[in-house]
Amino acid sequence: MIYLKIMEVLKTDAEQLARRVVNDLLNRGETEYHKKYSQEIMYERVYDVYSTLGYWLDRARPKEEIRKHFSELGKKRFEEGIPLHEVIMFLMLIKRHLWLYLLEKHFFESSYELMKSLEMNNRVVLFFDRAILAATMGYEAELVKYVESSKEEGLLSKFFKKK
């Protein structure tokens, strides 16, 4: 029941949730590189996660599918030059804003629903942990390829640019 209610919130309020995350993302000091992209691009990226979260949380969904999808995301963000800590912060903010939104809307009407929501929270946390791990693995795989193929001096300057 709680799962279905949360999935309904994601369907109906994904746009509003995505806008909140984008606003937070683009106003944080820890996410400077994301500011290179327009609000529309950032919105599409956040909305994509919220609008497909129900799909990813389906217990029948193979874990390998999550790993593959978010590993590709990590590779893309590496190619875009976004630092790994910002890729991780991106996913953490999406997770955080979902729960803040549910609490703000007084989503849980009883202690039973609150208890059930904790079970759902565990599923969401596990999903995002897997997504972060997979994105990190994809990012690192691209980093290794880049390092192995590069003969340039100052290679690390790509990753540790001063602002």
- Cβ pair 14, 43 in contact under 8 A: no
Length of the chain, in residues? 163
Please give the Cα distance from 135 to 94 (Å, whole number): 14
Q: What is the pLDDT of residues 77-129, one digit of tens each?
A: 999 999 999 999 999 999 999 988 887 876 667 777 777 777 777 788 888 88
Domains of the chain listed by start with CATH number = 2-158 (1.10.490)
Q: What is the pLDDT of residues 16-30, one digit of tens each?
A: 999 999 999 999 988
- Number of CB atoms found within 10 A of residue 62's CB: 9
Q: Is the pLDDT of residue 163 over 50?
A: no
Please give the Cα distance from 99 to 121 (Å, whole number): 8
Q: What is the pTM of this model?
A: 0.76
What is the number of alpha carbons within 13 Å of residue 150 lying toward its C-beta?
13
Report the mean per-residue pLDDT for the chain.
84
* For the chain, counts of helices (H) and of strands (E): 5, 0
